[in-house]
Amino acid sequence: MALAFLVDYAPVLDPRLDASTRTVLDALSWTVWAAFAIDLSIRLVLANDRRGYLLRHWYDVALVALPLLRPLRLLRLLALVRILDRSAASNLAGRVLVYVAGAASVAVGLGALAVLDAERSDIRANIKTIGDALWWACATVMTVGYGDLVPVTTEGRIVAVVFMVVGIGLVGAVIGAVTSWISARVQAERANQA
């Protein structure tokens, strides 16, 4: 369902879509939102501690409560984290690698869509195509920040700040995973020598 929501971003990629196609895509997006709202409601009814459940699952509450803020609709894709958790390797380094690769891929794609949606219509914008948006997203998430493409709208800058935090987190996770892997290898070799 989270991936089905992405079709609502088709007008961002091709602003020339006709009105009837946009209507169908909007209907699909709201159907996905309704499915998430029903899912949250059912899980809330079944929870023993409803308040605690809402606090622990704040992202589910946000994606249902804030559907009109288009960039925040991307929170629906946090449901993919559950899928990644099921498919991750059994050790910590494997999990971190799966999460980082998945998070980086999703972050770049969604960040590019969000910044393109925010920037495209502004006369001052220099991020006007999906190619520009992907370039900006890659440079930002990898903390390179060339500065050749920058968001100029308030909404675009908010997306950029969130994206910068994601980039710093991803870099930290990679460094931590590599350090953990090296440390485990050194300990294994010492144990074999003893």
- With CA atoms as reference, report the closest residue to 92 among 187, 185, 182, 180: 180
Yes or no: say if 167 and 143 are a contact pair by the CB < 8 Å rule: yes
Residue matched to tokens 């460094």: 175
Tell me the angle at which helices 130-141 and 154-193 cross, rounded to the nearest 10 degrees. 50
Give CA–CA dist 162/74, Å, rounded: 12
Which residue range forms the structural domain that includes residue 171? 88-194
Per-residue confidence of the chain (194 residues) as pLDDT tens digits?
Answer: 555 666 666 666 666 777 787 787 777 777 877 887 888 899 899 988 888 888 888 767 777 776 655 555 555 555 555 555 555 555 566 666 666 777 777 778 888 888 998 898 889 999 988 889 989 988 887 778 788 899 999 989 998 888 888 878 877 777 777 787 778 778 888 888 87
Q: What is the pTM of this model?
A: 0.56
Give CA–CA dist 161/145, Å, rounded: 12
93 and 65 share a domain? no
Identify residue 170 by its one-letter amino acid code.
L
* Structural domain includes residue 36: yes
112 and 34 share a domain? no
- Tell me how long the chain is: 194
Last residue of a domain, one of 20, 44, 70: 70
* Structural domain includes residue 78: no
92 and 55 share a domain? no
DSSP letters spanning 75-88: GGGGHHHHHHHHHS
Residue matched to tokens 């007008």: 11
- Number of domain units in the chain: 2
* Structural domain includes residue 82: no
pLDDT of residue 175: 76
**At CA 79, angle to CA 119 and CA 102, rounded to 5?**
70
